[in-house]
Amino acid sequence: MQSNRSVFRTALPLYFTYFIHGIGVSILSQYKSALQSAWGAADISAVIQVIAALGLGRLVALPVSGYVSDKWGRKVSGLVGVVLYALYFFGIAFCASASAAYAAAIIGGMANSFLDTCVTPTILELFKEKGPKANMFTKFAMSLGQFVLPFAIGFAAARSFSYSAVFAFLGALIAADGLLILTAPFPAMEKTQKKAKESAGIRRGIVPVVLMGFTATATFTLWLNCNQELGSLYGMADPAMIQSVYAAGTIVAILATAFFVLKKIETEDVLVLYPAICLCALAFTYVVKSPVSPLIGGFFIGYGGAGGVLQLVVAEANGLYEEHKGKITSVVMMASSLANYVVLAAAGAVTATYGADAPRKVVLLNMAITAASVALALWIRRGKKA
């Protein structure tokens, strides 16, 4: 059994990969104009396509990354993720065309997949019964990275550092973290015997868990990408403020859930409660047409939608497939990645159909999806209580 010192020696560099990941998935959008110019692109849509390639790379690698994690070990999966992330950062730093950047972004998405199938299973195996709570801090690390990113960019700009220097620095930073992961002690992978006799296929209770990987992601994906249009429709002077209160809600949720809520309420009850909070917040923003309502709704959607629900869902899945943690993490994350594509395409269709009132129709769509999350969580809860 690992000592507390060795546990944190392993956990901290793994959490740090998610801190860098939070920056990695957000930083391209912060440098749209500079990247467009550097690549000689006709318009900003080229940068948006590169950002979308991150999701494509994640989907491409997930079926492989889970197998690598279970077959050759969590450390191998994590080191592959670190190497790929370093290639992504250095690639973007020195790419001279949008097509080369697209390839680099696919590599960045693949890096995310290998980190997913390393970090979550390792955290669950390190912290044992406290694993679901500890796994929530992967989301906290991501949110912290996204929170500090604007300040870091301001710091770089004040010192006339180019975007290339920033990306190269991030590549060096995650490479250095990879050295810590390489030398860190990893726990032996669990080979649970009690489920060895069960079918390796679909197990009782896994269907609603995987489906909730889709719906939980869809809730915050739709809000993140469509809230500013709603704020403008409601007369907000600065709709960008919605993102700030959303991030605050996410950070509050992770800390509150880890240190208080999960001590009082079972995980399966949290999975019902948090989507229900989101559903109420979405209904509030739909009914109350005020400049303040998206701010209030944004905080509670950040709390209930992005405050660790997906991480708790992954932990539930790992509990059902304890001897295949890498593979089942891949399955849930594939559902999550699919949500990014499907719901944004649906939101685009809604926008094209409804015009000026489209932001409120997107809220209705989000309410329907979030209601499905509540239903799925009740299904999970019933199975656990049976």
Cβ-in-10-Å burial (0-12, 13-18, 19+) of 212 comes to: buried
Q: Are 58 and 110 in contact (CB under 8 A)?
A: yes
Q: How far apart are CA 220 and CA 340, in angstroms?
A: 10
Q: Which residues contact 157 (CB under 8 A, 6 or more apart)?
A: none
Q: How far apart are CA 86 and CA 93, in angstroms?
A: 11
Q: How far apart are CA 354 and CA 334, in angstroms?
A: 30
C-alpha triplet 264, 147, 157: angle, nearest 5°? 170
Residue 86, both tokens: 């370093």
The CATH number of domain 4-183 is 1.20.1250.20: yes
Selection from 356, 346, 257 nearest residue 303 by Cα: 257
Q: How far apart are CA 137 and CA 96, in angstroms?
A: 36
**Superfamily in which the 206-385 domain is placed by CATH:** MFS general substrate transporter like domains (1.20.1250.20)
Mean local confidence (pLDDT), 359-364: 95
How confident is the model over 7-32, as pLDDT tens digits?
Answer: 989 999 999 999 999 899 888 878 88
Residue 24, both tokens: 């990695």
Residue 40, both tokens: 């000689």
How confident is the model over 145-197, as pLDDT tens digits?
Answer: 888 888 898 899 999 999 999 999 999 999 999 999 999 999 987 654 444 44
**Residue whose entry in the numeric block shows the structure tokens 């104009």:** 33
Q: Parse the chain into domains and list their residue ranges.
A: 4-183, 206-385
How confident is the model over 195-247, as pLDDT tens digits?
Answer: 444 445 577 789 999 999 999 999 998 998 788 889 999 999 988 788 889 88
Q: How far apart are CA 137 and CA 308, in angstroms?
A: 8
